[in-house]
Amino acid sequence: MRVAQLGSGTPEIAVVAGVHGDEPCGVRAVERLLDERPAVKRPVKLVVANEKALERRVRFIDEDLNRTFPGEPNAKTHEGQLAHDLVSELEGCLTFSMHSTQSHADPFAIVNGVSETAKAIVPQLPVTAMVETSNFAEGRLFSTVDTVEVECGLQGSETAAENADRLTRAFLTAVDALPGDTVRRDLPVYRLTDVIDKEQADTYEVFVDNFTEVEAGAPFAAADGQKQIADESFYPVLMSPNGYRNVFGYTAEKVDVIESPPAAD
The SS3 assignment for 75 reads coil
Note whether 45 binds Zn ion by CB under 5 A: no
Q: Figure out which of the listed residues 28, 45, 84, 99 binds Zn ion, where binding follows CB under 5 A.
A: 99
**Nearer residue to Zn ion within complex by CB, 53 or 222:** 53
235: nearest Cα among 203, 220, 256, 213: 213
CA 231 to chain centre: 28
Which neighbouring-strand residues pair with 237?
Answer: 250
Q: Which helix (H) or strand (E) holds 107?
A: none
CB of 195 to Zn ion, least distance (A): 17
Interface stretch with Zn ion, choices 22-30, 35-43, 209-217, 238-246 (CB under 5 A)? 22-30
Q: Figure out which of the listed residues 20, 28, 45, 198 binds Zn ion, where binding follows CB under 5 A.
A: 20
Q: For residues 67 and 79, give the distance between their C-alpha atoms in angstroms, rounded to a whole number.
A: 9
Interface stretch with Zn ion, choices 8-16, 24-32, 39-47, 92-100 (CB under 5 A)? 92-100
CB of 20 to Zn ion, least distance (A): 4
Sign for the CA dihedral angle at 36, 119, 89, 155 comes to negative
Note whether 84 binds Zn ion by CB under 5 A: no
- How many angstroms separate the Cα of 224 from the Cα of each of 59, 196, 233? 26, 16, 23
**Nearer residue to Zn ion within complex by CB, 20 or 198:** 20
Interface stretch with Zn ion, choices 12-20, 33-41, 166-174, 252-260 (CB under 5 A)? 12-20
H-type helices in 43-99, by residue range?
A: 51-56, 78-90
Residue nearest Zn ion (C-beta atom): 99
> Footprint of Zn ion on this chain (CB under 5 A)?
20, 23, 99
